[in-house]
């Protein structure tokens, strides 16, 4: 009995000592990169973090996706190294940062495009932003008013808690209220499904969801594709940013992480998450 | 004497094998362990039982607490009086359109599920041979085990396009779609409970009716169904509760347009229910804002309604049980 206890105690001591030793040796080189911010950019950041940690085992990247505002606040307070934001920093946030001796620098890592789509059988091929606004605010209710056939318009929107809804409502509607007849769906997949099966439908999806089953319309004469979204010729786009305190030292781990979107692996991740990369390998 | 010894040894051997020679007196240690074990078991089980009751109470308290700022915020008149639900930016909280949506979906589903479920229950209990009933009833009950998101996919991928192509509706996610799907979900509940109530009526009443010269149809309509009416009402109410509280299916199948259908009988328009509103908007809303509290007010209302319905169904179920008690 005593021998057994002794052995257990020995084993515990040994493992504890080993634990302390490894913790000490790792503490010297193991680097932390903390990311905080936007829900929209979150998936890209998580993808980057995974790939980056695989390539650099001595770096530990943590991602916290709560909201763009939280990211800005965390960068100002020095609680994170990288703030991910789906909007540009506001003047008030910038001034607060300067007061705290933080100089926010933006890095655009990807573009987010929202494609307005119709049922493939719909003869309407081009809409203006004013017409989009008219449809979603309820002023335009029939495709005949837009040069199409006599058919009621079924406007579809994403749920109000999605980032896509936020951008659409902000750019296309100037934050005006949508009409009460607008139907809401919960995801890009659902939107695609509803539009592809409803003749009078109009909806909007991420660029990753364009295929032959839905028809993307020209907005103000521009068809959405990778090029027009990357260059923002297409009107329904926004840039996705990460922010650092000053420009990171070239070649440092932080610099390499922030520039990860320039690598081929980074481009693949951006595309995989349904956004438009700025590079073209 | 030697003989006696012999039997003793034999006896003690077999007793040892069976464990009979163990002292009947427990050692103090075992005695204490048994006593403590019983005590601990009692305390543990009581705690678990109380915890579930406490959880229900705490849910009530929590929802009421979160809804209180909205109820006292002077917006209650707007809440119950307006149909304009624009919570995100314009801060208009007219929930009437949401109530209308829930009412349409629930009323339609209760009607269909009630008719369908009660007829199916009568069929199972009185018409079909017992052996086939033993197969059919479990099959109906399996319907209740299908997750609601699966029904939602069916509504979205099969029913909605079908309604557009065959019935010519402009939108397939509408009142009719959600009503039909909800009633399919509620049918197993109704069938299961109504069938129990009908079976519980017993042979004596049925045979009495036959002896009086009633036909099978007369027996069913004039004797069995009236005798089981409490249980049938309880079954329909429980089916209704299933329809009111359902979220995922409704969110996918109803279209979620926050409007009161006009004209009121046009079932091809889409509506937005209370449950789908809570599910769809809770994620985005700012914690502690008016919108947040308004969603809790919706939740409180829903909870009150289901709680009331539960009490009513409990009353009817208890009545059937009492009647069975006196009858048997």
Which residues are CB-contacts of A98 (< 8 A; sequence separation ≥ 6)? none
Same domain, yes or no, for B295 and B320? yes
What radius of gyration do chain A's Cα atoms show?
24
CATH of A112-230, one of 3.30.930.10, 3.40.190.10, 3.40.50.300, 3.30.465.10: 3.40.190.10
Nearest C-alpha in A relative to B257? A183
**Confidence at residue B90, expressed as pLDDT on a 0 to 100 scale:** 61
Query: Which residues in chain A are contacts of B89 at CB distance < 8 A?
Result: 175, 177
| A198/B160 Cβ within 8 A | yes
Distance CA(B19)–CA(B297), nearest Å, equals 66
Does A19 score more than 80 pLDDT? no
Distance CA(B265)–CA(B107), nearest Å, equals 13
Same domain, yes or no, for B123 and B238? yes
Give domain status of residue B20, yes or no: no
> Is 3.40.50.300 the CATH classification of the domain at A31-111+239-277?
no
Strands A201-206 and A154-158: parallel
Domains held by chain B: number: 2
| A161/B281 Cβ within 8 A | yes
Tokens, residue A244: 């650092």
Q: Which residues of B124-159 are buried (b: 16+ CB within 10 A; e: fewer)?
A: bbbebeeeebeebbeebeebeeeebeebbbbbbeeb
Same domain, yes or no, for B50 and B62? yes
Same domain, yes or no, for B262 and B182? yes
Q: Are B218 and B209 in contact (CB under 8 A)?
A: yes
Query: Which residues in chain A are contacts of B173 at CB distance < 8 A?
Result: 183, 194
Nearest C-alpha in A relative to B85? A180
Which of the two residues, A25 and A264, has the higher pLDDT score?
A264
Mutate to test the interface with A, among B88, B152, B251, B273 (most CBs of A within 10 A): B88
Q: Are A213 and A192 in contact (CB under 8 A)?
A: yes
**Among candidate residues B230, B240, B249, the one with its CA nearest the CA of residue B189:** B240
A150 touches chain B (CB under 8 A): no
Same domain, yes or no, for B43 and B112? no
| B89/A177 Cβ within 8 A | yes
For residue A86, report the phi and psi dihedrals to the nearest 5 degrees: -95, 5
User: What's the domain range around B211?
Assistant: 76-327
**Among candidate residues A103, A86, A85, the one with its CA nearest the CA of residue A94:** A103
Residue B325: exposure state from Cβ atoms within 10 A (0-12, 13-18, ≥19): exposed
Distance CA(A76)–CA(A103), nearest Å, equals 9
**Confidence at residue B325, expressed as pLDDT on a 0 to 100 scale:** 56
Q: How confident is the model at residue A88 (pLDDT cuts 50, 70, 90)?
A: confident
| A151/B256 Cβ within 8 A | no
Q: Output the domain CATH number for residue B226.
A: 1.10.3720.10
Q: Which residues of B14-23 are buried (b: 16+ CB within 10 A; e: fewer)?
A: eeeeeeeeee
Nearest C-alpha in A relative to B156? A194
Tokens, residue B13: 């051997």
Q: Report, as an integer, the average pLDDT of A178-184.
A: 89
**Confidence at residue A24, expressed as pLDDT on a 0 to 100 scale:** 44
**Confidence at residue A40, expressed as pLDDT on a 0 to 100 scale:** 81
Spans of all domains in chain A:
31-111+239-277, 112-230
Q: Are A188 and A206 in contact (CB under 8 A)?
A: yes
Of B173, B258, B283, the CB nearest to A161: B283
Strands A82-85 and A59-65: unpaired
Q: What is the mean pLDDT of chain A?
A: 86
Tens of pLDDT along A184-206? 998 888 899 999 999 999 999 98
User: Which parts of chain B have pLDDT scores under 50?
Assistant: 1-8, 326-328
Query: Which residues in chain B are contacts of A198 at CB distance < 8 A?
Result: 160-161, 164, 170-172
Identify residues of B whose CB sits under 8 angstroms from chain A CBs: 83-90, 97, 156-157, 160-161, 164, 170-173, 251-252, 255-259, 270, 272, 280-285
Measured at the CA of A273, the angle between CA A270 and CA A279, to 5 degrees, comes to: 15
Same domain, yes or no, for B85 and B127? yes
Distance CA(A45)–CA(A40), nearest Å, equals 10
Quote the distance between the C-alpha of residue A203 and its chain's center.
19
| B88/A197 Cβ within 8 A | no
**Confidence at residue B219, expressed as pLDDT on a 0 to 100 scale:** 92
The model scores a pTM over 0.90: no
Of B90, B161, B170, the CB nearest to A154: B170
Smallest CA–CA distance, residue A1 to chain B, in Å, is 22
Same domain, yes or no, for B32 and B111? no
**Confidence at residue A21, expressed as pLDDT on a 0 to 100 scale:** 45
Tens of pLDDT along B127-185? 999 899 999 989 988 888 899 999 999 999 999 999 988 888 888 899 999 999 999 99
| B252/A194 Cβ within 8 A | no
Query: Which residues in chain B are contacts of A154 at CB distance < 8 A?
Result: 170-171
Q: How confident is the model at residue A208 (pLDDT cuts 50, 70, 90)?
A: confident
**Confidence at residue A11, expressed as pLDDT on a 0 to 100 scale:** 54
In order of B46, B52, B60, B63, the CA distances from B55 in angstroms are 14, 5, 9, 12
Question: How large is the ipTM?
Answer: 0.72
Nearest C-alpha in A relative to B269? A181
């Amino acid at each position: 009995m005593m021998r057994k206890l002794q052995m257990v105690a020995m084993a515990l001591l040994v493992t504890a000592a080993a634990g302390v030793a490894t913790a000490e040796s790792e503490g010297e080189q193991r680097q932390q990169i903390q990311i905080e911010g936007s829900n929209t950019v979150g998936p890209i950041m998580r993808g980057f973090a995974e790939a980056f940690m695989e390539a650099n085992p001595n770096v530990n990247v943590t991602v916290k996706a709560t909201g763009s505002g939280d990211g800005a606040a965390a960068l100002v307070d020095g609680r994170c190294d990288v703030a991910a934001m789906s909007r540009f920093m506001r003047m008030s946030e910038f001034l607060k940062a300067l007061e705290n001796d933080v100089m926010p620098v933006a890095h655009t890592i990807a573009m987010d495009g929202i494609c307005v789509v119709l049922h493939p059988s719909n003869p309407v091929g081009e809409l203006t932003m004013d017409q989009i606004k008219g449809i979603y605010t309820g002023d335009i209710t029939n495709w005949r008013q837009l040069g199409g056939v006599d058919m009621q318009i079924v406007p579809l929107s994403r749920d109000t808690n999605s980032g896509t809804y936020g951008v659409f409502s902000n750019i296309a509607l100037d934050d005006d209220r949508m009409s009460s007849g607008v139907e809401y769906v919960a995801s890009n997949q659902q939107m695609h499904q509803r539009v592809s099966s409803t003749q009078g439908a109009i909806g909007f999806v991420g660029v990753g969801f364009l295929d032959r089953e839905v028809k993307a319309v020209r907005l103000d004469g521009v068809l959405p594709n990778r090029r027009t979204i990357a260059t923002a010729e297409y009107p329904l786009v926004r840039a996705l940013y990460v922010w650092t305190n000053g420009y990171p030292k070239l070649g440092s781990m932080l610099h390499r992480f922030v520039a990860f979107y320039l690598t081929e692996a980074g481009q693949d991740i951006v595309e995989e998450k349904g956004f438009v990369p700025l590079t073209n390998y | 004497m030697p003989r006696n010894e012999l039997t003793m040894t034999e006896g003690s051997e077999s007793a040892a094998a069976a464990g009979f020679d163990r002292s009947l007196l427990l050692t103090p240690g075992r005695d204490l362990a048994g006593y403590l074990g019983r005590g601990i078991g009692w305390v543990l089980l009581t705690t678990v039982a109380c915890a579930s009751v406490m959880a229900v109470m705490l849910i009530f308290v929590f929802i009421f607490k979160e809804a209180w700022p909205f109820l006292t915020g002077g917006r209650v008149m707007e809440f119950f009086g307006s149909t304009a639900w624009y919570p995100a930016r314009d801060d208009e909280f007219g929930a009437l359109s949401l109530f209308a949506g829930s009412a349409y979906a629930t009323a339609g589903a209760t009607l269909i599920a009630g008719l369908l479920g009660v007829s199916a229950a009568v069929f199972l209990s009185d018409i079909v041979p017992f052996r086939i009933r033993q197969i059919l009833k479990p099959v109906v009950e399996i319907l209740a085990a299908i997750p609601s998101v699966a029904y939602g996919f069916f509504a979205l991928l099969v029913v909605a396009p079908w309604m557009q192509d065959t019935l010519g509706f402009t939108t397939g996610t509408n009142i009719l779609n959600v009503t039909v799907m909800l009633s399919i979900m509620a049918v197993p509940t109704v069938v299961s409970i109504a069938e129990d109530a009908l079976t519980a009526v017993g042979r004596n009443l049925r045979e009495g009716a036959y002896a009086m010269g009633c036909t099978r149809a007369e027996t069913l309509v004039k004797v069995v169904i009236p005798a089981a009416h409490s249980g049938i009402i309880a079954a329909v109410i429980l089916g209704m509760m299933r329809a009111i509280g359902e979220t995922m299916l409704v969110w996918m199948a109803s279209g979620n347009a926050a409007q009161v259908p006009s004209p009121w009988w046009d079932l091809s328009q889409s509506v937005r229910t209370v449950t789908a509103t809570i599910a769809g908007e809770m994620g985005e809303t700012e914690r502690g804002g008016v919108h947040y509290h308004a969603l809790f007010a919706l939740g409180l209302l829903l909870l009150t309604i289901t709680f009331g319905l539960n009490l009513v169904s409990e009353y009817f179920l208890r009545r059937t049980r009492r009647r069975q008690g006196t009858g048997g």
